[in-house]
Structure 1
Amino acid sequence: MLAKDVQVNVLGKLEVAPLAAADPHVTITATKPRQVLVLLAVNAGAAVRTDQLIDELWPSGPPQTVRTIVQTYIYQLRKLFEGNFSSPEGRDLLTTAPDGYVLSVPRENIDLYRFQHLIEDGRAALRDKRFSCAAGMLRECLELWRGPVPADVTSGPRLRGLSVFLEEQRLEAVSLRIEADLAIDRHLEVVGELRSLVATYPLHEVFHLRLMQALHGSGRRGEALYVYRQLRSTLNKELGLEPSREVNRVHQEILVGH
């Protein structure tokens, strides 16, 4: 049975909250139970093996009584859920599986999965040339991002790897949203944001490409060409590379005034 009235947010600070406003938020202060909960949440509905929890919690080597300690953390989480959520939600939230545990929450109640689904939906809308719809979906997606995963929980190897992966997904969502905005003639509106992105990610070609397009679409051809020269110089100096074929194609279009 899934605990459908519980929401878990991991994009930023860990939050466990009821969908019904009458019930309180769950506050988990202990470090390792919080880490256990995040690993269970990012695998919601699927079993996380005890050995996976051990690898995450003690990457340098576990204590001798490690399985008993993990069982204690699970017990502490269950008591918190049972004390804070109306029955049967608290009882059903954290269940035992063969050699592991399951957080029995629908994935649509985990902000991580809503974030990923909105990226996919936005990408599909962009492919179908539904640009306004794509921009809206991707804005909604990015509004879910409150920070890295997890912002206030100690991370072992699994959560650190997930954090890196999700940051790449966030940058892709930003790029896709800007692409959709450019397609609906919001060139001027995105210039400032793109300048900040280019300064923050000087080797990220796509942001330079979008800035070139935004500036050219705003009637600032000279600035667009300068962005290309800057990118080419940076790539050559830092990586010994030339800009990609797509960047060179857009550069040529700007040169000939298309």
Structure 2
Amino acid sequence: MHDAHVHINLLGKLEIVPMARESDDTEHHHRITATKLRQVLVLLAANAGTTMRTDQLIDELWPAGPPQSVRTIVQTYIYQLRKLFVHSSQSPQGRQLLATDPDGYVLSVPRENIDLFRFQNLIEDGRAALRENRFGCGAEMLRECLELWRGSMPADVTTGPRLRGLSAFLEEQRLEAISLRIEADLASDRHVEIVGELRSLVAVYPLHEVFHLRLMQALHGSGRRGEALCVYRELRSTLNKELGLEPSSEVRKVHHEILVGQ
């Protein structure tokens, strides 16, 4: 069963947001205080619509080794979450949002009701728009995507190996979304407007070549050729000092184009 009356937000602090009833114009965020119960919910929500095997839950919750009667403990967590969904969805059928199958459990909240999946879908849509040279549309999709990001996922949940891996993956996706949005802005001749943002990104991510590349392009497009060349020299020095590497061929190509005034 899909219940459209529950939204789950994972990008930042964990939130369970039931849709407001017709007689109530406010949203009520349900708070789960038990540490491992929060972990279980995040795992299930991050895999919504697919089976989360019991052994996967156990490995995440107790990476150093499970306690005795561990399956009974997991069943208790599932029971508590089902009660929460009944309350959140304002319907006895909310219990059906979390189903048991022979291998584990399936959360049936629609993926469009979970911010993680909306975030990923908007990245894909934005990337597709850029491929089709719809730069303004792509930039808007990517801005909408980045507005969903309230912080690292999950910001207030204890993590085991599976959630740590997912958190690292999503951070890389966030940086890609920023890079794609900047690419769309450059294609729309917004060079001057994004120089400040790019300088901040370069300071925070000194080894991220793409941000340096985009800053070089933004500065050059703003008529600041000398500063663009300075960015290249700083990047080359940092990469050599920290990693013993030279800038990538793409960065070197842009550097050459700036040097010859293209």
Shorter-chain TM band? over 0.9
Unaligned runs of 5+ in 2: none
Question: How far apart, CA to CA, are the structure 2 residues paired with 1:83 and 1:128?
Answer: 45
The range that moved more, 223-232 or 85-94, is: 85-94
Question: How far apart, CA to CA, are the structure 2 residues paired with 1:256 and 1:76?
Answer: 66
Question: How far apart, CA to CA, are the structure 1 residues paired with 2:88 and 2:112?
Answer: 21
Secondary structure at the counterpart of residue 159 of structure 1: helix
Matched, 1:123 2:123: no
1:136-215 alignment to 2 at 5 Å?
136-215=140-219
Q: Deviations over 1:30-51 (max 9, x none)?
A: 1111100000000001110110
Equivalent in the alignment of 2:5: 5
Equivalent in the alignment of 1:20: 20
Amino acid at match of 2:17: A
Question: How far apart, CA to CA, are the structure 1 residues paired with 2:118 and 2:85?
Answer: 23
Matched, 1:59 2:71: no
Equivalent in the alignment of 1:94: 98
The root-mean-square deviation of aligned C-alpha atoms, in Å, is 1.1
Matched, 1:234 2:242: no
CA contact 2:191–2:218 (8 Å) conserved in 1? yes
Question: How far apart, CA to CA, are the structure 1 residues paired with 2:146 and 2:168?
Answer: 16
Equivalent in the alignment of 2:107: 103
Amino acid at match of 1:113: F
Matched, 1:73 2:77: yes
CA contact 2:17–2:88 (8 Å) conserved in 1? no
Question: How far apart, CA to CA, are the structure 2 residues paired with 1:5 and 1:140?
Answer: 22
CA contact 1:149–1:163 (8 Å) conserved in 2? yes
Equivalent in the alignment of 2:45: 41
TM-score relative to the length of structure 2: 0.96
Tell me the CA shift for residue 88 of structure 1.
4.4
CA contact 1:46–1:102 (8 Å) conserved in 2? yes
Equivalent in the alignment of 1:251: 255
Amino acid at match of 1:223: E
Tell me the CA shift for residue 26 of structure 1.
2.0
Q: Deviations over 1:4-45 (max 9, x none)?
A: 221111000001111235473322111111100000000001
TM-score relative to the length of structure 1: 0.97
Tell me the CA shift for residue 235 of structure 1.
0.9
Question: How far apart, CA to CA, are the structure 2 residues paired with 1:149 and 1:24?
Answer: 21
Question: How far apart, CA to CA, are the structure 2 residues paired with 1:223 and 1:90?
Answer: 58
CA contact 1:26–1:81 (8 Å) conserved in 2? no
Q: Deviations over 1:55-97 (max 9, x none)?
A: 0000000001100000111111111221332224422221111
CA contact 2:11–2:154 (8 Å) conserved in 1? yes
Question: How far apart, CA to CA, are the structure 2 residues paired with 1:144 and 1:188?
Answer: 26
Tell me the CA shift for residue 163 of structure 1.
0.2
Question: How far apart, CA to CA, are the structure 1 residues paired with 2:251 and 2:28?
Answer: 52
Tell me the CA shift for residue 241 of structure 1.
1.0
Amino acid at match of 2:144: E
Question: How far apart, CA to CA, are the structure 2 residues paired with 1:85 and 1:47?
Answer: 21
Equivalent in the alignment of 1:114: 118
Moved over 4 A (4+): none
CA contact 1:5–1:89 (8 Å) conserved in 2? no
Question: How far apart, CA to CA, are the structure 2 residues paired with 1:175 and 1:72?
Answer: 43
State the number of aligned residues. 258
What percentage of residue pairs aligned between the two structures are identical? Answer: 79
Secondary structure at the counterpart of residue 16 of structure 2: strand
Unaligned runs of 5+ in 1: none
Secondary structure at the counterpart of residue 16 of structure 1: strand
CA contact 1:235–1:241 (8 Å) conserved in 2? yes
